[in-house]
Structure 1
Amino acid sequence: MIFIVQQKESYIDRKVISIGVVRELTGLSDRQIRYYEERKLVFPERSKGGNRKYSFSDVKALVEIADKIEDGVQTHEIRQEKLKEKRKIEQEKMRKKMLQGQINAQFGLRN
């Protein structure tokens, strides 16, 4: 019998880190971090008090973004690259979902 396990959000993707900690981890200024948010390169959540909350994935992305900017890559190019990556991931998820549906249909299983 085949079971689909729904995964919980990984600790890496939980938005729990304040901008001050992100600043310390990345070496970026608050202004740089906010700028990358304005350019739609990172998407922090907001607490009830309006404070930005980042994930470890966001921290990694910010470091990668800063490195690319330092190498002369423009923010719009980075955003286009991120959109391509996101589309690829979504296509892969859809492919897996379709394959799982085919397997379930073949063996008479239901989700």
Structure 2
Amino acid sequence: MAQKNDPYKFKKVISIGIVSELTGLSPRQIRYYEERKLIFPERSKGIRKYSFADVERLMEIADKREEGVTTREIRNEMTKEVREKMLKGQMNAHFHFRS
């Protein structure tokens, strides 16, 4: 997964057509994953823009779907990961730890 020290990975500059070519997913599949709250593209004048981190995430989602994992399970896993990162950050701030 992208690291915070790779800021280019997080810039939302890639169109859905390019994302489709890079991932092998159809634009409809990509929009579906957005509807299911698995990815969060930026929108400007009705045009979706994705980052390289989004592309990586979509490829992870596609792999999991091929393994039979449901979108609900993927979203629950994402939520759990976010909660764990937040808790770790709060604990680090409270106890002045550095990771």
Is TM more than 0.5 here?
yes
After superposing on structure 2, the runs of 4+ consecutive aligned residues of structure 1 that deviate more than 3 Å are none
| Match status 1:74 vs 2:70 | yes
1:56 maps to a residue whose letter is F
Structure-2 residue corresponding to 1:92:
88
* Distance (whole Å) between structure 1 residues aligned to residue 79 and residue 28 of structure 2: 24
Q: CA deviation at 1:99?
A: 3.0
* Distance (whole Å) between structure 2 residues aligned to residue 85 and residue 73 of structure 1: 16
Structure-2 residue corresponding to 1:43:
40
Structure-2 residue corresponding to 1:22:
19
Q: Secondary structure at the match of 1:15?
A: coil
* Distance (whole Å) between structure 2 residues aligned to residue 19 and residue 58 of structure 1: 11
Q: CA deviation at 1:17?
A: 1.1
Q: CA deviation at 1:96?
A: 2.3
1:84 maps to a residue whose letter is K
Give the TM-score normalised by structure 1: 0.77
* Residue-pair matches, total: 94
| Match status 1:64 vs 2:63 | no
Structure-2 residue corresponding to 1:108:
none
- What residue ranges of structure 1 are gaps of 5+ in the alignment? 1-6, 103-111
Structure-2 residue corresponding to 1:32:
29
Give the TM-score normalised by structure 2: 0.86
Distance 1:98 1:9, change over 3 A: farther
